[in-house]
Amino acid sequence: MEDVRSLASIFDEHLELTATVAAEGLASLGLVPGELIDGRYQVERVVAVGGMGTIVAARHVGMDRRVALKILHVDPVRHEGVRARFEREAKISAMMESEHVVRVFHVGRTARGEPYMAMELLEGTDLEVCVRDRGPLSVTFACTVMVQACEALAEAHVRGIVHRDLKPANLFVVPDPAGLVVVKVLDFGISKRTSTFDPKLTAAGALVGSPLYMSPEQVFDPGVVDARSDLWALGVTLYELLTGAPPFTAATLSELFASIAGDTPPQLRSMRRDVSPELARIVARALAKNPADRFASAGELATALSDFAAPEARRVAARAVRIERAHGAPSSEPPSAGERPSRPPTSSAPPRPRERPKRRARAILGLVLTAGVACAALYAFQPAPRAPSPTAEGGR
């Protein structure tokens, strides 16, 4: 695939950066090459450093398997919410069976009492870096990686898990030996179970998610979102992969949320002429303000996108549908080879009231955000360090 070859240089640059970080990192973290963590993981080098944690490449001495150790560097008492999210990410990732979710093998604590998780060691980069360094991706490549992400979400959703922070930076691209790519969905740390509420993870008035990718309902109340909020985030991500820019932007957080709630994004085909009208309709449906007007499930979205993806994506979409059907989730059968539906299928979700007029939405949002999210606005648009992805040279 042409995109895979084009991304090779990005991977090489990423590995060069990784080597630079590694050369600077171990000593500053109080680690030395060859040191044993928890009596089982022999430290090799630092892969990446984030605001609250570090990724270290290591080797399990008993199994001779290379892993990535994600080590959390925060006070567990002062940052109880961060620790709870870290533990939640480990548990959810460990229970998932999809090849499109990074595998977690073990959790423990270092000699200094820092929580860590041992994960699959990956080689590649995330889609945020891909778009930043290369610009808009091809239609085939973008739809292929989205179908794979849908397969991971299909399993998460039937388990009652909503990710709540899907974005290009949390979709990691790994080249495979066949010359294709495998997408890994990262960071289930702020995910929620649809049947439970944990105040440690979502405090009242807290900003949960990345503002540019939040659905209208997530803007108003992140505690009540369901799987369709994740499908909105995939729609935003796909729009960005195809155009190089997200569909909603603004100078302030309150203006951004007002735009998400009330504005129609620029027409996809006005930004990218080689996008077909049908694909533009699919993206527009994923970005419907009313959740009932979106796709009913990740499998349904994967099925719609598989017509525009690489041939192997059809099998991935069919697998997502099977996962959902096995658990009684709403979905649709993927079309047979060569068959293309004339329009996206209609959602089976119950109808909801019509959307509020833009002016009313803006007024309500202005009051709510001025009162409750002013502090979050200062934080959200600062280039704060992002928790590192489990990347390193050396394969999976």
CA distance 34 to 36: 6
Tell me what the mean pLDDT of segment 264-269 comes to.
95
Tell me what the mean pLDDT of segment 267-273 comes to.
94
Instruction: Spell out the domains of the chain, with CATH numbers in brackets.
Output: 30-120 (3.30.200.20), 125-380 (1.10.510.10)
Strand partners, 161: 193
**Residue 12 appears among annotated catalytic residues:** no
- At residue 202, the pLDDT reads 39
pTM above 0.75, yes or no: no
**Structure confidence by residue, pLDDT tens digits, 85-132:** 777 777 777 777 888 988 888 888 888 888 888 989 988 889 999 999
Selected residue with higher pLDDT from 12 and 169: 169
Query: Which one of 3, 126, 165, 293 is the catalytic residue?
Result: 165
Burial class (CB in 10 A: 0-12, 13-18, 19+), 226: middle
CA distance 49 to 18: 10
| Neighbouring residues of 36: CB distance < 8 A, sequence distance ≥ 6 | 42, 43, 61
Query: 46 with 23: CB under 8 angstroms?
Result: no
Tell me what the mean pLDDT of segment 322-345 comes to.
57
List the alpha helices (DSSP H) in the chain: 2-28, 80-95, 127-134, 139-158, 216-220, 227-243, 253-262, 268-271, 277-286, 298-306, 313-326, 358-372, 374-380
Both tokens of residue 364?
């309500």
How many alpha carbons fall within 13 Å on the CB side of residue 186? 25
Strand partners, 107: 117
